[in-house]
Structure 1
Amino acid sequence: MNDNEFDEVGPIDYLVVEFPADRPPDGSALPMLRDLVDNGIIRVLDLVFVRKNTDGSLAGIAIDDLGLEGGVDVTLFAEASSGLVNRSDVEEAGAILEPGCSGAILVYENLWAAPFATALRRGGAQLVASGRIPLQGIMAALDSLDADS
Structure 2
Amino acid sequence: MEYLVVAFPGSRFTGAIAPALADAVASKAVRILDLTFVYRAEDGTLDMVELEDLDPDDLVSFEPVEGVVSGLLNSEDIRALGESVPRGSSAALIVWEDLWAVPLTEAVRASGGRLVAHERIPADVAEAAVAASGSAD
- TM class by shorter chain equals 0.7 to 0.9
Give the direction of change, closer, same or farther, for the CA distance of 1:43–1:145 in structure 2 (3 Å limit): closer
1:102, distance to aligned residue in structure 2 (A): 0.9
Partner of 2:12: 24
1:128, distance to aligned residue in structure 2 (A): 2.3
Unpaired segments of 5 or more residues in structure 1? Answer: 1-11
Aligned length in residues: 133
TM-score norm. by structure 1 comes to 0.74
- Cα displacement string for residues 27-81 of structure 1 (whole angstroms, at most 9, x for unaligned residues): 121122112112111100011111111111110012332336xx3464427x579
Mapping of 1:1-149 within 5 angstroms? 12-21=1-10, 23-67=11-55, 71-72=57-58, 74-76=60-62, 84-141=72-129
Q: Distance in 2 between matches of 1:50 and 1:73?
A: 14
Is the CA contact (8 Å cut-off) linking 2:22 and 2:61 kept in structure 1? no
Unpaired segments of 5 or more residues in structure 2? Answer: none
Is the CA contact (8 Å cut-off) linking 1:52 and 1:97 kept in structure 2? yes
RMSD in angstroms over aligned alpha carbons?
2.8
Give the direction of change, closer, same or farther, for the CA distance of 1:116–1:96 in structure 2 (3 Å limit): same
Is the CA contact (8 Å cut-off) linking 1:25 and 1:66 kept in structure 2? no
Give the direction of change, closer, same or farther, for the CA distance of 1:91–1:139 in structure 2 (3 Å limit): same
% of aligned pairs identical? 36
Q: Distance in 2 between matches of 1:45 and 1:25?
A: 20
1:121, distance to aligned residue in structure 2 (A): 1.5
1:13, distance to aligned residue in structure 2 (A): 1.0
Is the CA contact (8 Å cut-off) linking 2:21 and 2:60 kept in structure 1? no
Give the direction of change, closer, same or farther, for the CA distance of 1:64–1:42 in structure 2 (3 Å limit): same
TM-score norm. by structure 2 comes to 0.79
Q: Distance in 1 between matches of 2:36 and 2:7?
A: 12
